[in-house]
Amino acid sequence: MILREYRKEDCPALLRLFHDTVHAVNARDYTKPQLDAWAPLSLDEENWDESFRRHFTVVAAVTETDGSPIDRTAVNGGLKTGAAESGIIVGFGDIDSSGYLDRLYVHKDHQGKHIGTAVCDILEAQAAKTSKKITVHSSLTARGFFEKRGYMIIRKQQVTRCGVSLTNFVMEKPLK
């Protein structure tokens, strides 16, 4: 697996991954109307691309023959930057300069392969350069993942997406 920086041409694949993952993986914790409100079929690609470029965004990709362990030997905090390392995108995550972890998604067919852990490791290392803590608004589904990483629940909340209410958790992790 290759971990690399986001590129503009990644955006359509990330939007598909986001939609498909939410509708498959999060279906055990949310209703169909909630999933549709959270991850509608039509997303504003320009808006998402701008957000990905404004944040520190990591993309995880594999090649067709990839069975190797995670490759963290490259430059830039473990990220590859060359165009040759494209591969098939299987996950992504992004964090802003304040330490807000905005998105972390792993393809529905690649769950449980430590991809989310690898992406989150890099995001947390980046946040440690500028922040004293990381904040995330975790879904019901991802709550356990973040708790295992040392995030604490600050509060349970209801958020509204497209007029539909969803439950999530504001969680924080102090950085040393």
What type of residue is 27? Answer: A
Per-residue pLDDT of the chain (176 residues; tens, 9 = 90+): 999 999 999 999 999 999 999 999 999 999 999 999 999 999 999 999 999 999 999 999 998 655 544 444 333 444 444 444 568 999 999 999 999 999 999 999 999 999 999 999 999 999 999 999 999 999 999 999 999 999 999 999 999 999 999 999 999 999 97
What type of residue is 100? Answer: Y
Question: How do the domains of the chain map onto residue ranges?
Answer: 2-174
As a whole number of angstroms, the distance between CA 56 and CA 124 comes to 11
Superfamily of domain 2-174: Gcn5-related N-acetyltransferase (GNAT) (3.40.630.30)
Question: What is the pTM (predicted TM-score) of this model?
Answer: 0.88
